[in-house]
Amino acid sequence: MLPLWRDKYCVALCPDQLVAIRCARGLRGSVDFKISETLAPLPGEPAWAAAAEALGRFLAAPEAGAGNLSIVLSNHFVRYMLVPWSAQIASVEEFRNYAAAAFEEVYGEAAAEWEVCFSPERAGLPRLAAAVDRALLESVRAAAGRSRLRLQSVQPYLMAAYNRVGQLRPERDFVFMLVEADRVCILIAEGRTWRQVSAVTAPADPAALVALLEREIRLAGLQGEAAPPVFVHASQRPGLTLPPFQGKAPQVLELKALAGLSPITGAAYAMAATMV
């Protein structure tokens, strides 16, 4: 079967839920199946354990047929870091080891159990790196291996969302804010070069979100006469409106609507939809 005609399953794993959609392949793919499961993480277990178990149940269910599988991981499961360029690095694998060492320097011995990926910037520029528990990725791969689905991609939510809604921004200086239900990531660029990344608990109050945004911009050294444009993606908090920041309203970036998902239910599946 040609890849064009394979169904595509997109799954989002979060501490408190699993959501999945299936897009029927063809010239006009549309969502023809969706499922959501609320999870209750158990004390003493890793934050991702309940989500990994739910993925195994879903992939073993009759609803999960043949096709391709893409998975997006909540930012709760991911640590981010900007890793500076080194002219002494000669290969992708060397940079991976270099980034892993950077995580270990900050987080200690625990980082030895993490798997690292990074953005493909050109030589001379810092790269956005992400670290995920290796045991989580092994659980995901094992569950996919027992199913009829072909695992194509596992991505952190920040990278998946930016690639889907923010990558084509023309501005050289900008801020990308990704808001989950209770997690916020802020990615700052200057001259189209990554300057800072942070991931913290998301305050519920929109004014507090803007205060957090202002602090991160100040820490990045971009607090000048004119603030850089701010772009916000907050699909898990539909209707979120942020007050103006230095006289400018942050611009909300929305996913393109998918056929088969109504505007009312679409927000619940938006994280999974970043992988379509």
Mean pLDDT by 10 residues, the chain (276 residues): 72 97 76 94 92 97 92 98 91 93 96 95 91 98 97 97 82 91 93 93 94 91 76 90 87 88 79 93
Phi-psi region of 147 (alpha: psi -120 to 50; beta: other; left: phi over 0): beta
Radius of gyration of the chain (CA): 19
Q: What is the pLDDT of residue 58?
A: 97
For residue 168, count CB atoms less than 10 angstroms from its CB and return exposed for 0-12, middle for 13-18, buried for 19 or more.
exposed
24 phi and psi angles, rounded to 5 deg: -70, 130
Q: In this structure, which topology does domain 163-252 adopt according to CATH? A: Nucleotidyltransferase; domain 5 (3.30.420)
Q: What is the pLDDT of residue 113?
A: 97
- Equal CATH topology for 3-76+135-160+257-273 and 163-252: yes
Q: What is the pLDDT of residue 260?
A: 87
Q: Which residue has the tokens 């200086």?
A: 173
Q: In this structure, which topology does domain 3-76+135-160+257-273 adopt according to CATH? A: Nucleotidyltransferase; domain 5 (3.30.420)
The CB density around residue 243, as the number of other CB atoms within 10 Å, is 11
* pTM (predicted TM-score): 0.94
Q: What is the pLDDT of residue 1?
A: 45
The domain limits of the chain are 3-76+135-160+257-273, 77-132, 163-252
Q: What is the pLDDT of residue 26?
A: 61
For 185, residues 6+ apart whose C-beta sits below 8 A from its C-beta are 75, 80, 157, 158, 177, 178, 197, 198, 199
